Structure 1
Amino acid sequence: MSNNADSETRDLLILGGGLVGMALALSAARQGISSHVIDRADPAELTKEGFDDRATAISTASWHMFTNIGIADYLEPFACDIASIAVTDQNKPGRLDFTPEPHEGTLGRMFPNRRLRLALFEAAAKEPLINWVPKAEIVERERSEFGVAAVLDDGRKLKGRLMIAAEGRQSPTRDEAGITIAKWDYKHRAIIAGLTHSKPHGNVAWEIFYPAGPFALLPMKDDADGTHRSSLVWTVSEADGKGVTKLGDRAFIAEIEKRMKGVLGDVTSVGARSSYPLGFHHTAKITDERLALIGDAGHGIHPIAGQGLNLGLRDVGALVQVLVEGARLGLDPGDPENLKRYETWRGLDSFMVALATDGLTRIFGVPTGAASAVRRLGMAAVQRTPMLKTFFMDEARGVSGDLPELLKA
């Protein structure tokens, strides 16, 4: 089935309609930039109850973007503020607290991924400048100095002026373009699950470091009946990953309670568990002829700092700004000048964030007694140094560096 929108040549041809791809389509549309969004997934599957227990920390800067593109009001009721972050080494004395001053606002807010998807999908469905093509397989990608196109398996051909790779870590568009990728595997997995627990979390996010890796508890909004909820991100070695994933609920709860040491009281239930291999990857460049990479297609970082989506949204903000400013000068969206500006702006910032989170992982992932002492020494130093604490909090809020307009209040 073809419609008129399919046959139009649009400004952007966005391959991948996940959170980052859809945020780009919406942000661009609000500036009068049209797009085709092609995604293989079925949106009904992605938004059904219980499909995904994952939750994401949305930084202050990302929240400004949601406000600016008009989805904040929908999301507001599902937000859980992160008022402070407590960092400890195996819950031993000497914890590090990041608590902003009252006038500085929160360190971010937690949202269920399902709600983020619904907010973006519903806004995109109403936007005439977005032609959303779900459940579609791409069989051919074309790029030339004149434009770009994607051929679908049902024979449809969608055309644009700039191709965007937004398919995540395993981006086929990036690989086909021959963009090389530097990556290393941490030989660890993140196990993610929703928890209900007896004590309120008090809007504190916990990052508890163990020799095998960090164990994070992120505050979620209480259920309507007052049940307390949090999201668990537990890093285990690749060797232990399968065993932990296979544990029955009761045994799994016993293992996590042992590591929580009562900070949230008793764990009363655990939701569906998912696990992901951890790795770091960074591409040599994020642009090519009429092609821009956004989100995990260009850089995948360790989820220890929960910054993956926020980093992708910074790509979105920068790219949209570059395109809007380019259009004022009469430049075509795929003009090399636009791409060069985007490359320069985002290349360094995303690499610095990736490096910082990788550094954290290496400091916190060393499994020796000495590492534990070094960690506590380091945490004590940060605790006493307001400038360092402010730096970490600004990073968490996503407000450091050269920020795109869309991510400002």
Structure 2
Amino acid sequence: MRTDVVFAGGGMVGLSLAIALARAGIQVVVVDRETPESVQSLAYDGRASAIALGSKRVLEGAGIWSEMADHASPIWDIRVADGHPLRGVSPLFLHYDHADVGEDPFGWIIENRVTRQALHKVAARTDGLTLLAPASVARIDRDADQALAVLDDGREISAALAIAADGKFSKRREEAGIGVSGWNYDQVSMVATVRHERDHDGVAVELFLPGGPFAMLPMTERRCNIVWSEQKDRAERFMAMNDADFLKELTLRFGDWLGDIELSGPRFAYPLSLQQAERYTDRRFALIGDAAHSIHPIAGQGLNMGLRDVAGFAEVLVDATRLGLDIGAPSVLRDYERRRRFDNVLLAAVTDGLLRLFSNDVPPVRAVRDLGLATVNRLPPVKHFLMRHAMGVVGDLPRLVRGEAL
């Protein structure tokens, strides 16, 4: 096969970029080892993701959002506070109200399963996009003229550019000799969905507990997605509990602000780490999404980082195509890395700093951070900037993030 771009991996970020490029007239082939049916099932991934306003615009520009909108729950308010399972919630807190910065919500909470369903539905009807799944890339041979993806079954796909979108344990990144820096956290993220008596009114809550952050994210149908980060040994004990005992521990932290709660669906556990690729590009080769970077979910920015990669890279490749340039040329790939690396490294540093500040129960540190939250809450200019940053609409924005066409 001959194409313009070949993707190794077809997850949420990779398939989003593939759709955006194909809609702009760039031929793409996506090779993914999972079947479309398996990645769209409830058993595959129990997580939900926060889609910031800027990321929603990216998905709109790629023609994907319309397939997700009915299942998206808007975030109208964000409340952040220190907490303790026994002492309760600190009276000092930080509150973001969307009305302070406009009419749009901060973002939306959407199940990853729903996002994948939308992506595969749109991909199936997008001209210029070929999805090979299940199929696996055995290796990618690259020279000055082309990238050649050799599949496990012997098929070959030649392209001007190969993109690795195969996750944080990327084999294609390793094959290209690109190292990573970072570390594993002594935390596991436990994920579950609960139903509750009262409506959440679009309020997202993040409590900073001694073992790690505990997020309650508003979903449709009177549900919340729980992202509970806890020390590994304790997380293993919690995950080994039966549903009734696990729900008791969950309720102790969730509180009664939404009335009685019950588990809705299976539980999942994910080890946490911070990782940054030493570079994002090589000869006729680039990394995107988790293959390039992964962060702690403390601020719910992982998928948003990947979608900003999509917006930045799509703009670079589409502009190069319109100018008649070689989309695999070093100058084109350097432009992509220049646009995305600083933003990704900065956000990784911020989330790591927040985690280290809040994942402890040292009294003097707790007092300082509580005072810091309360102080920011009383400084409108600072708070407004942080709110717009949470919406993903701060900085030098690609066209898709601005709501403009590619």
Q: TM-score, normalization: structure 1?
A: 0.94
Aligned pairs (5 A) from 1:96-175: 96-101=94-99, 103-175=102-174
Which AA in structure 2 matches 1:234? Answer: W
Contact 1:60/1:107 (8 A) holds in 2: yes
Which AA in structure 2 matches 1:246? Answer: A
Q: Which residue of 1 aligns with 2:86?
A: none
In 2: Cα distance, 1:259 partner to 1:31 partner: 47
Identity among equivalent positions (%) equals: 40
In 1: Cα distance, 2:323 partner to 2:143 partner: 22
Matched, 1:260 2:254: yes
In 1: Cα distance, 2:265 partner to 2:94 partner: 29
Contact 1:249/1:270 (8 A) holds in 2: no
Deviation at 1:283, TM superposition (A): 1.4
In 1: Cα distance, 2:158 partner to 2:370 partner: 55
In 2: Cα distance, 1:285 partner to 1:245 partner: 36
Matched, 1:381 2:375: yes
Which AA in structure 1 matches 2:241? Answer: L
SS at match of 1:109: strand
Structure 1, unpaired ranges of 5+? 1-6, 223-227
SS at match of 2:33: coil
Deviation at 1:392, TM superposition (A): 2.0
Q: Which residue of 2 aligns with 1:3?
A: none
Deviation at 1:50, TM superposition (A): 4.8
In 1: Cα distance, 2:270 partner to 2:378 partner: 35
In 2: Cα distance, 1:377 partner to 1:137 partner: 52
Q: Which residue of 2 aligns with 1:4?
A: none
Matched, 1:85 2:83: no
Most deviating of 337-346 and 359-368: 359-368
In 1: Cα distance, 2:64 partner to 2:334 partner: 30
Contact 2:193/2:226 (8 A) holds in 1: yes
Contact 2:139/2:172 (8 A) holds in 1: no
Contact 2:209/2:360 (8 A) holds in 1: no
Which AA in structure 2 matches 1:215? Answer: F
Contact 1:253/1:270 (8 A) holds in 2: no
Contact 1:197/1:269 (8 A) holds in 2: no
Contact 2:296/2:351 (8 A) holds in 1: yes
Contact 1:87/1:208 (8 A) holds in 2: yes
Contact 1:68/1:406 (8 A) holds in 2: yes
Q: Which residue of 2 aligns with 1:186?
A: 185
Deviations 1:74-96 (A, max 9, x none): 21111100001111111121121
Q: Which residue of 1 aligns with 2:29?
A: 36
**Root-mean-square deviation over aligned CA pairs:** 1.3
Contact 1:85/1:98 (8 A) holds in 2: yes
Deviation at 1:367, TM superposition (A): 3.2
The number of equivalent residue pairs is 397
SS at match of 1:101: helix
Deviation at 1:208, TM superposition (A): 0.7
Which AA in structure 2 matches 1:337? Answer: S
In 2: Cα distance, 1:287 partner to 1:250 partner: 48
Which AA in structure 2 matches 1:398? Answer: G
In 2: Cα distance, 1:369 partner to 1:255 partner: 24
SS at match of 2:153: coil
